[in-house]
Amino acid sequence: MRKPCCDKQDTNKGAWSKQEDQKLIDYIRTHGEGCWRTLPRDAGLLRCGKSCRLRWINYLRPDLKRGNFGEDEDDLIIKLHALLGNRWSLIAGRLPGRTDNEVKNYWNSHLRRKLVNKGIDPNNHRLVHSLPLPHQKREAALSATSSGSRSHACRPVRSLGDNDHVSDAGSCFEDDTSVPDLNLELTITVPSPSLSVAVEERRNNEPTVSKEHDFALSPALLLFR
């Protein structure tokens, strides 16, 4: 049995108050991020570290770009999802000012439906052969929302066997029914330091089976660099 991450009886849960936000902001401004475990106590917050981290990353960080997603961001998310699956942190990493939670929510509430309406299966980004009839569209769209069929989204097909072979890139584009117009080189222009680091690490070290790294040398993804 795993220990709880913190002493739950002494922590607040639910929505954050303005005072709590301010305490967290003030503390991080002074001391920087890090050591989420001790931060709540040091900052005088009755929250668990996880909760503080989440609040900061998803809501309080000064570099967050809030507001509606643009068409270009939509396209980019769809393309990255086709490539990476539900690895929201990686996808968000390509969208400056967006968080993984925000991207995930946006995908589940908007983009899934958008794809379904275009006759594309959001799970594997392939064209659905029999497009829904107009009266069926709404039903299909609804069933694709987060509250409809929660989860079961696309994971890139991988064969992580003993040799750690990765086949992410081809997973969603294996046949002619996949989304045909992906042009990652044109769309993605700003190299991510973190991704570059990941790739460099992978080059310098022994291969490891790691969530951060296992896609890094995928041929298609090397286009990002």
Between 19 and 208, CB nearer to DNA: 208
Contact residues for 115 (Cβ-Cβ < 8 A; gap 6+): 78, 121, 122, 125, 144
The distance of closest approach from Cβ of residue 180 to DNA in the complex, given in angstroms and rounded to an integer, is 25
The distance of closest approach from Cβ of residue 162 to DNA in the complex, given in angstroms and rounded to an integer, is 15
Q: For residue 189, what are its two tokens?
A: 């222009």
Stretch that binds DNA, among 75-83, 176-184, 207-215, 217-225 (CB under 7 A): 207-215
Mark 181-192 as b/e (b = at least 16 C-beta within 10 Å). ebebeeebeeeb
Map tokens 């029914």 to a residue: 177
The distance of closest approach from Cβ of residue 163 to DNA in the complex, given in angstroms and rounded to an integer, is 16
Determine if 213 is a binding residue for DNA (CB under 7 A): yes
Determine if 205 is a binding residue for DNA (CB under 7 A): no
Report yes or no: 172 and 124 within 8 Å, Cβ to Cβ. yes
Q: Which of 110, 114, 137, 158 binds DNA (CB under 7 A)?
A: 110
Report yes or no: 156 and 168 within 8 Å, Cβ to Cβ. yes
* Strand 126-127 versus strand 120-121 pairing type: antiparallel
The distance of closest approach from Cβ of residue 16 to DNA in the complex, given in angstroms and rounded to an integer, is 4
Enter the DSSP assignment of 44.
T
Per CB under 7 A, residues contacting DNA are 2-3, 5, 8, 12-16, 34-37, 47, 49-51, 53-55, 58-59, 86-90, 100-102, 104-106, 108-110, 141-142, 145-148, 150-153, 155, 208-213
